């Protein structure tokens, strides 16, 4: 994109969600990120419940991505994720059970 042709007044008329999506696609915000892991027998501890981890992943994507970019689970440890998920619980309007499923997914059932 040639930034010399950028017209802020034109783009400011777009609704905010459309602007976010358009600029995200235009600048490739997520083009370099790795995909979120899908729980499987080869990437979780043997003691973990694969069905719960899959539910946690679905909740993480549906509840958290609606407001912001998702972070990869390996970016933080369980304690750090716990602080974040606890802080975001009221904003995301998730139950304690959903919070625990998301936390288990993010910490890969450890």
| Confidence at residue 93, expressed as pLDDT on a 0 to 100 scale | 94
Contact assessment for residue 106 and residue 85, using Cβ atoms and an 8 Å cutoff: yes
| Confidence at residue 30, expressed as pLDDT on a 0 to 100 scale | 46
Q: In the chain, which stretches have pLDDT less than 50?
A: 1, 29-32
Rounded to 5 degrees, what are φ and ψ at 66? -70, -20
| Confidence at residue 106, expressed as pLDDT on a 0 to 100 scale | 94
Q: Which tokens hold the place of 40?
A: 């499987």
Q: Which tokens hold the place of 89?
A: 């619980």
Q: What is the pTM of this model?
A: 0.66
Contact assessment for residue 83 and residue 59, using Cβ atoms and an 8 Å cutoff: no
| Confidence at residue 26, expressed as pLDDT on a 0 to 100 scale | 53
């Amino acid at each position: 994109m040639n930034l010399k042709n950028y017209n802020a007044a034109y783009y400011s008329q777009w609704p905010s969600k459309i602007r976010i999506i358009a600029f995200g696609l235009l600048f490739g915000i997520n083009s370099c990120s790795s995909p979120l892991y899908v729980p499987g027998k080869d990437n979780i501890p043997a003691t973990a419940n694969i069905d719960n981890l899959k539910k946690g992943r679905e909740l993480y994507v549906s509840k958290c991505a609606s407001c912001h970019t998702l972070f990869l689970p390996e970016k933080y440890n369980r304690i750090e994720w716990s602080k974040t998920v606890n802080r975001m619980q009221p904003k995301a309007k998730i139950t304690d059970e959903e919070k625990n499923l998301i936390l288990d997914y993010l910490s890969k059932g450890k």
